[in-house]
Structure 1
Amino acid sequence: MHKKKFIKDNKEYRKVYREGISLANRYAVLYACKNTLTTKRFGFSVSKRIGKAVVRNKIKRRLKEVCRIHGDWFADGYDYIIIARRGIDELSFNSVKNNLEDLAYRINKKIIRENRL
């Protein structure tokens, strides 16, 4: 995944948290916010409560890989932040993929619903 597709700045994270919409399931929270670009960007957050650095980095690698392979699940022109919750470290890659697929599907429905209003 190209570096331009990542949210790096704290100010951008705060904007997504403040202005964006969110959905959650047992293992992750997904925030989405309209951006001024034509591409989608991703940010990842894994708390220290989940585990040590090796575990947190493994989770981030898995989340990035799911977003790289299945980027078509997410709409262009939006910033997405994925926050991992406790228990995600015990899931297999396919389970992580299925959880993110569910969140992406639900947030896209919510985005479409809000754009109609």
Structure 2
Amino acid sequence: MKYSDRLKKNKDFQMVYRYGTSKANKYLVMYVRENQTDENRIGISVSKKVGNSVVRHHLTRLIREGYRLLEELFRRGIDVVIVARVNAKDCTYHEIERAIYHLGTLHHIIGKNQDEDDIN
């Protein structure tokens, strides 16, 4: 991921859950919080309720890849936690990507590419 790092510590996840805003759709829940830096940090959470470890890991990879391809559209300086819902376990890659894009627009964190702003 070009502009992003990962959220790894439980403390960081808890800060985003507690002080961030959340929006949801049929497949995913997205929590967003400003982080006062120039890079994004992303965390992905898939509960055991979703399925066994193979299903959870597959879904995690789909979410990570969907975010990676949309990453340049996201505003910088935010922490994002994406939580998979049970309905997501049967989703295709394109459905997950659309769900991430939809939640990004609901949070108003998807906009013009910032590199384009620097050029203009």
How far does residue 72 in structure 1 lie from its aligned partner after superposition?
Answer: 2.3
The TM-score normalised by the length of structure 1 is 0.87
Q: Please, which runs of 5 or more residues in structure 2 have no aligned partner?
A: 110-120
Q: Stretches of 4+ moved more than 4 A in 1?
A: none
Counterpart AA for 1:30 = M
More helix by share: 1
- Within 2, Cα distance between the matches of 1:42 and 1:75? 13
How far does residue 100 in structure 1 lie from its aligned partner after superposition?
Answer: 1.0
Identity of aligned residues (%): 32
User: How many residues are treated as equivalent by the alignment?
Assistant: 108
Counterpart AA for 2:37 = L
Counterpart AA for 1:31 = Y
The TM-score normalised by the length of structure 2 is 0.85
- Within 1, Cα distance between the matches of 2:8 and 2:85? 20
- Within 2, Cα distance between the matches of 1:8 and 1:36? 18
Given that residues 43 and 82 in structure 1 are in contact (C-alpha distance below 8 angstroms), is that contact kept between their aligned partners in structure 2? yes
- Within 1, Cα distance between the matches of 2:78 and 2:28? 18
- Give 2:39's aligned residue: 39
- Give 1:101's aligned residue: 101
How far does residue 26 in structure 1 lie from its aligned partner after superposition?
Answer: 1.0
Q: CA RMSD in A?
A: 1.3
- Give 2:78's aligned residue: 78
- Within 2, Cα distance between the matches of 1:67 and 1:96? 9
Counterpart AA for 2:14 = R
Q: Please, which runs of 5 or more residues in structure 1 have no aligned partner?
A: 110-117
SS at match of 2:7: coil
How far does residue 39 in structure 1 lie from its aligned partner after superposition?
Answer: 0.4
Q: Where do 1:1-117 residues align within 5 Å?
A: 1=1, 5-108=5-108
